[in-house]
Amino acid sequence: MINMDDNPDIVIWDEKYATGIHLIDSQHKELVSLTNELFHACLGEEETLEGVFKETMERMVNYVRFHFGAEQVLLQRVGYPDYHEHKRQHDTMVLKILEAVKEYNEGKQLVPNQFVRTLRDWILGHIAHYDKLYSSYIAAQKEKGLLSDKEINV
Protein backbone atom coordinates (compact mmCIF):
# COMPACT_ATOMS: atom_id res chain seq x y z
CA MET A 1 0.00 0.00 0.00
CA ILE A 2 1.34 3.41 -0.89
CA ASN A 3 1.25 5.89 1.90
CA MET A 4 0.29 9.13 0.21
CA ASP A 5 1.80 11.12 3.08
CA ASP A 6 5.23 9.70 2.30
CA ASN A 7 4.83 10.35 -1.40
CA PRO A 8 3.28 13.73 -1.93
CA ASP A 9 2.12 14.81 -5.38
CA ILE A 10 4.74 16.18 -7.73
CA VAL A 11 2.52 18.93 -9.05
CA ILE A 12 0.38 21.23 -6.98
CA TRP A 13 -2.07 23.43 -8.84
CA ASP A 14 -1.32 27.04 -8.23
CA GLU A 15 -3.44 30.04 -9.15
CA LYS A 16 -0.42 31.46 -10.98
CA TYR A 17 -1.20 28.91 -13.71
CA ALA A 18 -4.78 30.13 -14.08
CA THR A 19 -5.78 31.53 -17.46
CA GLY A 20 -9.08 32.90 -16.20
CA ILE A 21 -10.88 30.81 -18.85
CA HIS A 22 -13.04 28.28 -17.09
CA LEU A 23 -12.86 25.48 -19.67
CA ILE A 24 -9.09 25.76 -20.01
CA ASP A 25 -8.40 25.95 -16.28
CA SER A 26 -10.48 22.86 -15.60
CA GLN A 27 -8.62 20.97 -18.35
CA HIS A 28 -5.25 22.14 -17.00
CA LYS A 29 -6.26 20.93 -13.54
CA GLU A 30 -7.09 17.54 -15.05
CA LEU A 31 -3.60 17.46 -16.62
CA VAL A 32 -2.11 18.19 -13.20
CA SER A 33 -4.09 15.39 -11.61
CA LEU A 34 -3.15 12.93 -14.37
CA THR A 35 0.52 13.86 -13.90
CA ASN A 36 0.20 13.09 -10.20
CA GLU A 37 -1.60 9.84 -10.96
CA LEU A 38 1.23 8.86 -13.29
CA PHE A 39 3.78 9.72 -10.64
CA HIS A 40 2.00 7.60 -8.02
CA ALA A 41 1.73 4.78 -10.56
CA CYS A 42 5.54 4.81 -10.76
CA LEU A 43 5.82 4.26 -7.04
CA GLY A 44 3.62 1.17 -7.06
CA GLU A 45 4.65 -2.48 -6.87
CA GLU A 46 7.28 -3.45 -9.40
CA GLU A 47 5.20 -6.33 -10.80
CA THR A 48 2.30 -4.05 -11.66
CA LEU A 49 4.33 -0.96 -12.57
CA GLU A 50 4.61 -1.67 -16.27
CA GLY A 51 0.89 -2.30 -16.79
CA VAL A 52 -0.29 0.57 -14.62
CA PHE A 53 2.25 2.97 -16.08
CA LYS A 54 1.31 2.07 -19.66
CA GLU A 55 -2.40 2.37 -18.98
CA THR A 56 -2.06 5.71 -17.18
CA MET A 57 0.33 7.00 -19.82
CA GLU A 58 -2.17 6.15 -22.54
CA ARG A 59 -4.86 8.15 -20.76
CA MET A 60 -2.39 11.01 -20.33
CA VAL A 61 -1.48 11.08 -24.03
CA ASN A 62 -5.17 11.00 -25.02
CA TYR A 63 -6.02 13.79 -22.63
CA VAL A 64 -3.09 15.95 -23.74
CA ARG A 65 -4.28 15.60 -27.36
CA PHE A 66 -7.87 16.31 -26.41
CA HIS A 67 -6.84 19.41 -24.47
CA PHE A 68 -4.56 20.74 -27.20
CA GLY A 69 -7.36 20.25 -29.72
CA ALA A 70 -9.88 22.10 -27.53
CA GLU A 71 -7.40 24.91 -26.93
CA GLN A 72 -6.69 25.29 -30.64
CA VAL A 73 -10.42 25.53 -31.38
CA LEU A 74 -10.64 28.33 -28.82
CA LEU A 75 -7.59 30.14 -30.22
CA GLN A 76 -8.96 30.04 -33.74
CA ARG A 77 -12.35 31.23 -32.57
CA VAL A 78 -10.87 34.28 -30.84
CA GLY A 79 -8.54 35.01 -33.77
CA TYR A 80 -5.35 34.57 -31.77
CA PRO A 81 -2.55 36.08 -33.91
CA ASP A 82 0.09 33.54 -32.78
CA TYR A 83 -2.15 30.55 -33.39
CA HIS A 84 0.31 28.77 -35.69
CA GLU A 85 3.22 29.12 -33.30
CA HIS A 86 1.04 27.85 -30.46
CA LYS A 87 -0.11 24.86 -32.49
CA ARG A 88 3.51 24.14 -33.41
CA GLN A 89 4.39 24.05 -29.70
CA HIS A 90 1.55 21.57 -29.12
CA ASP A 91 2.54 19.36 -32.04
CA THR A 92 6.17 19.30 -30.92
CA MET A 93 5.19 18.33 -27.39
CA VAL A 94 2.92 15.51 -28.56
CA LEU A 95 5.76 14.17 -30.73
CA LYS A 96 8.21 14.33 -27.82
CA ILE A 97 5.78 12.50 -25.54
CA LEU A 98 5.01 9.83 -28.14
CA GLU A 99 8.72 9.34 -28.77
CA ALA A 100 9.34 8.84 -25.04
CA VAL A 101 6.41 6.38 -24.80
CA LYS A 102 7.80 4.45 -27.77
CA GLU A 103 11.21 4.24 -26.12
CA TYR A 104 9.60 3.00 -22.95
CA ASN A 105 7.59 0.37 -24.84
CA GLU A 106 10.71 -0.77 -26.65
CA GLY A 107 12.41 -1.25 -23.33
CA LYS A 108 14.97 1.48 -23.87
CA GLN A 109 16.31 3.24 -20.86
CA LEU A 110 13.52 5.32 -19.48
CA VAL A 111 13.04 5.66 -15.79
CA PRO A 112 9.28 6.26 -15.38
CA ASN A 113 9.78 8.38 -12.30
CA GLN A 114 12.17 10.69 -14.13
CA PHE A 115 10.02 10.71 -17.20
CA VAL A 116 7.02 11.96 -15.18
CA ARG A 117 9.14 14.81 -13.84
CA THR A 118 10.16 15.74 -17.37
CA LEU A 119 6.55 15.52 -18.52
CA ARG A 120 5.49 17.75 -15.65
CA ASP A 121 8.12 20.32 -16.63
CA TRP A 122 7.04 20.25 -20.29
CA ILE A 123 3.34 20.65 -19.47
CA LEU A 124 3.65 23.21 -16.69
CA GLY A 125 6.32 25.09 -18.62
CA HIS A 126 3.97 25.34 -21.61
CA ILE A 127 1.05 26.49 -19.45
CA ALA A 128 3.16 29.04 -17.58
CA HIS A 129 4.61 30.53 -20.76
CA TYR A 130 2.64 29.89 -23.97
CA ASP A 131 -0.84 29.54 -22.47
CA LYS A 132 -0.24 32.71 -20.46
CA LEU A 133 0.54 34.54 -23.71
CA TYR A 134 -2.84 33.75 -25.23
CA SER A 135 -4.72 34.31 -21.99
CA SER A 136 -3.18 37.80 -21.76
CA TYR A 137 -4.27 38.42 -25.36
CA ILE A 138 -7.82 37.26 -24.58
CA ALA A 139 -7.93 39.37 -21.42
CA ALA A 140 -6.77 42.43 -23.39
CA GLN A 141 -9.37 41.85 -26.13
CA LYS A 142 -12.03 41.55 -23.44
CA GLU A 143 -10.84 44.77 -21.89
CA LYS A 144 -11.20 46.53 -25.23
CA GLY A 145 -14.69 45.10 -25.60
CA LEU A 146 -13.66 43.07 -28.65
CA LEU A 147 -14.43 39.73 -27.04
CA SER A 148 -17.11 38.70 -24.60
CA ASP A 149 -17.31 35.80 -22.14
CA LYS A 150 -19.95 34.29 -24.38
CA GLU A 151 -17.46 33.98 -27.25
CA ILE A 152 -14.71 32.63 -25.00
CA ASN A 153 -16.54 30.06 -22.91
CA VAL A 154 -18.58 28.30 -25.54
- Binding residues (CB under 5 A) for Fe ion: these are 71, 131
Shortest distance in whole angstroms from residue 56 CB to Fe ion: 20
Nearer to Fe ion among residue 43 and residue 122 (C-beta): 122
Nearer to Fe ion among residue 52 and residue 123 (C-beta): 123
Nearer to Fe ion among residue 3 and residue 26 (C-beta): 26
Nearer to Fe ion among residue 71 and residue 101 (C-beta): 71
Nearest to 75 by CA among 114, 130, 112: 130
Shortest distance in whole angstroms from residue 68 CB to Fe ion: 6
Residues 99 and 125: their CA atoms lie apart, in Å, by 19
The closest residue (CB) to Fe ion is 131
Shortest distance in whole angstroms from residue 71 CB to Fe ion: 5
Shortest distance in whole angstroms from residue 47 CB to Fe ion: 35
Q: Give yes or no for a contact between 92 and 68, defined as CB atoms under 8 angstroms apart.
A: no
Q: What is the CA radius of gyration of the chain?
A: 17
Nearest to 94 by CA among 140, 63, 70, 133: 63
Q: Give yes or no for a contact between 14 and 30, defined as CB atoms under 8 angstroms apart.
A: no
